């Protein structure tokens, strides 16, 4: 068997142990599934977001990446908001198509497919679009393998200096 390494998400190059774990059928009503897998993931997502269970919850979506992007944009961006979409490939372009479909107030910032979206680019764009309320960017533009610089972007959006390797809390 060839051990190919494909640097895109998905079960294409998962290890044998992961494939074996995937061999079990899970049902949404199984206690082991809900309490052992789903609830810990939901709690960890809240912790990651820095919010509490009293006021927030998480909803796990099962579907393609495009499905999740559509659900997120369709549910979080209001008519009065201004969305900036950074596109450096097919998936970024698709976010623009979704925004058009939902008639969202948006601007697509198109970069070459060989250029990652960086904190500096986001910072400069936000200065040109001060009314922006939301930013959308794909982490891994799998059509080209480009990794957009999420940590830098997050630091800019938190109002921190993007040149730091990590944002100060």
pLDDT(165) > 50: no
Residue 159 · residue 108 · CB < 8 Å = no
In whole angstroms, how far apart are CA 58 and each of 75, 95, 117, 135, 150? Answer: 13, 22, 27, 20, 21
Identify the helix (H) or strand (E) that includes residue 109. Answer: strand 106-110
Position 103 confidence tier, pLDDT thresholds 50, 70, 90 = very high
- Distance between CA 132 and CA 104 in Å, rounded? 12
Res 45 pLDDT > 90: yes
Report pLDDT for 4: 53
Residue 127: partners with Cβ closer than 8 Å, 6 or more residues away: none
Q: Which tokens hold the place of 133?
A: 């309320």
- Strand pairing class (106-110; 140-141): unpaired
At residue 132, does pLDDT exceed 70?
Answer: yes
């Amino acid at each position: 068997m060839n051990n190919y390494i494909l640097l895109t998400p998905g079960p294409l190059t998962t290890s044998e142990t992961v494939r074996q774990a995937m061999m079990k059928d899970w049902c949404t009503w199984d206690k082991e599934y809900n309490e052992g897998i789903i609830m810990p993931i939901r709690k960890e997502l809240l912790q990651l977001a820095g919010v509490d269970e009293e006021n927030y919850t998480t909803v796990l979506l099962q579907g393609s990446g495009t499905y999740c992007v559509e659900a997120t944009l369709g549910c979080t961006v209001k008519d009065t908001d201004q969305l900036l979409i950074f596109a450096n490939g097919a998936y970024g372009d698709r976010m623009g198509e979704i925004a058009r479909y939902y008639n969202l107030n948006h601007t697509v910032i198109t970069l070459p497919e060989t250029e990652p979206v960086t904190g500096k680019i986001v910072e400069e764009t936000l200065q040109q679009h001060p009314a922006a309320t939301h930013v959308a960017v794909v982490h891994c533009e799998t059509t080209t393998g480009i990794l957009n610089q999420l940590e830098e972007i997050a630091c800019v959006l938190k109002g921190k200096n993007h040149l730091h390797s990590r944002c100060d809390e």
